Amino acid sequence: MKTRIAIFASGSGSNAQKIMEHFNSHPEGEVVLVLTNNPQAYVLQRADNFEIPTHVFTRQEFYQTDEVVKILKNIQVDLIVLAGFLWLVPQSLLQAFPNQIINIHPALLPKYGGKGMYGDNVHKAVLANGETESGITIHFVNEHFDEGEMIHQAKYKIEPGDTLDIIKFKGQQLEHQYFPKVIEGLLKKVRR
Ligand code: GAR
């Protein structure tokens, strides 16, 4: 029995792409659904390319109903991966999947986390503060933005003259390198 993974993403989905590639004909895990709040998200196209089903939901559906939980339970999802998903996870979803929801964040938490800290906002703040290093954090999700138990961090150096695009690229390289492997390490732990 493979561990069944669902990915939530709000935008491009380059991390989702790496995860779908990694678990495409993998013996231990498979991506069974991609979910998004954004009907324009490029991640939907990426999922189609892998012939992985998708579900688009509204704010009302996500926060006022149990529809998303029902869908995930119906298809027996074991692990939920937030890969560039920008909405806070509601309590009902956290309770339905305890210790089974993880997130990736483009900084070394607890620095540069919290509401509004996503994507370019994070990198701009890192540069504005003259940091000499930054990195990525993969962590369990709780009811606060970017605060659950840490699973893995990786760092990169910031050189004098590095631009927003450069540090974004360095972070993205680390995300793509580590996220699928960290998920792989969790497969047995979260399986029914
Ligand atoms: C990633 O860098 C991820 O760390 C970040 O969104 C990006 C999504 O990129 N997530 C957050 O900022 C969450 N607070 P992608 O759509 O290309 O995978």
Does residue 7 lie within any of the structural domains? yes
Does residue 145 lie within any of the structural domains? yes
Q: Where are the alpha helices (DSSP H) in 33-148?
A: 43-49, 59-64, 67-74, 91-96, 119-128
Does residue 161 lie within any of the structural domains? no
Query: How many CB atoms within 10 Å of residue 167?
Result: 23
Instruction: Based on the residue annotation, tell me whether 144 is a catalytic residue of this protein.
Output: no
Does residue 158 lie within any of the structural domains? no
Q: Tell me what pLDDT residue 88 has.
A: 94
Ramachandran area for residue 176 (φ above 0: left; ψ -120 to 50: alpha; else beta): alpha
* Ligand 1 centroid, distance to 57 Cα (angstroms): 19
Q: Which residue has the tokens 């994507």?
A: 119
Q: How many domains does the chain have?
A: 1
* Ligand 1 centroid, distance to 175 Cα (angstroms): 9
Predicted structure pTM score: 0.97
Q: Which residue has the tokens 């929801």?
A: 101
158 has pLDDT over 90: yes
CATH number, domain with residue 97: 3.40.50.170
Catalytic residue, from 22, 26, 55, 105: name it: 105
- Domain with 98 in it: 3-104+139-153+175-190
Pocket test for ligand 1, best of 35, 40, 105, 124 (most atoms within 8 A of CB): 105
Does residue 50 lie within any of the structural domains? yes
Question: Does the Cβ of 180 fall within 6 Å of ligand 1?
Answer: no
Average pLDDT, the chain: 97
What's the rounded mean pLDDT across residues 107-136?
A: 96
pLDDT tens per residue across span 36-94: 999 999 999 999 999 999 999 999 999 999 999 999 999 999 999 999 999 999 999 99
Q: Tell me what pLDDT residue 186 has.
A: 97
Ramachandran area for residue 162 (φ above 0: left; ψ -120 to 50: alpha; else beta): beta
191 has pLDDT over 90: no
